[in-house]
Amino acid sequence: MMQTDFSLGSFCQRMPAETPLSSLGVLLFVISLPHLLYAYVWTNPTVWLRFWGKRSVDTFATAGVLGKVLQYAGMFVWLWSNQDSGVCFRQPLALWQLAVAAVLIGYGQALNFGTYKALGTAGVYYGCRLGKPIPWVHGWPFDTVAHPQYVGCILSVWGALALMLHAVPLPTAAIIAVFWSGMYCFSAAVEHWL
């Protein structure tokens, strides 16, 4: 029987082996992948429809969820492989960090879930481009901000940054947060202008 020295405490130290995700550039590429897929499907819906047929929306929704899993797993591995404290906080969080994170993530996810509730899966995952009748929604959260799902995601990214201030050097954390936010702005621009 093979013995391993792995324990949950192993996450509180740097990952023992280098991975491709140790690179900030690779992490940013992984973060961009779902947005590139969204842009492709938005601008080439007939190709997507031809390939997936009646399963186009469901397949895109599955790809969207897998893209999020990939992004968060990539972030987890990047943190684990780049910080001496792994994915654990180096020091207790300050009350202001918790408050800022709670407000940003809470409101961000309210916008995100509100979008899903208002549009449904077909509306969120480009059913309007993939042959599904999607009614135009004027109520909450669309009467609050343009692109509420993307705004909600951006707020959540910045809320997560508030939590990570002592775990990740500020310049690096800011690069990740600005890039990730920029990718949501890119997706909103594609949907708005293309």
**pLDDT tens per residue, range 90-149:** 678 889 999 999 999 999 999 999 999 999 999 999 999 999 999 999 999 999 999 999
**Does residue 64 lie in a domain region?**
yes
If we measure between CA atoms, which residue out of 112, 131, 115 comes closest to residue 57?
131
**Does residue 134 lie in a domain region?**
yes
pLDDT band, very low/low/confident/very high, at 15 (cuts 50, 70, 90): confident
Read off the pTM: 0.89
Min mean pLDDT across 51-65, 69-83, 135-149, 180-194 is at 69-83
Q: What is the structure's pLDDT at 147? A: 95
**Does residue 10 lie in a domain region?**
no
Of 7 and 159, the one with more pLDDT: 159
Q: What percent of the chain has pLDDT over 70?
A: 95
Give yes or no for residue 190 having a pLDDT over 50: yes
If we measure between CA atoms, which residue out of 147, 92, 91, 85 comes closest to residue 115?
147
Token duo for residue 149: 């799902």
Domain range spanning residue 72?
23-193
**Does residue 147 lie in a domain region?**
yes
- Structural domain tally of the chain? 1
Where is 47: in which H helix or E strand? helix 45-52
**Does residue 12 lie in a domain region?**
no
Q: What is the structure's pLDDT at 82? A: 81
**Does residue 7 lie in a domain region?**
no
Average pLDDT of the chain is 90
pLDDT band, very low/low/confident/very high, at 8 (cuts 50, 70, 90): low
- SS3 assignment, position 127: coil
Q: What percent of the chain has pLDDT over 90?
A: 72
Cβ proximity of 159 and 105 under 8 Å:
yes
Read off the pLDDT of each residue in 166-174 and give the average, rounded to a whole number.
84
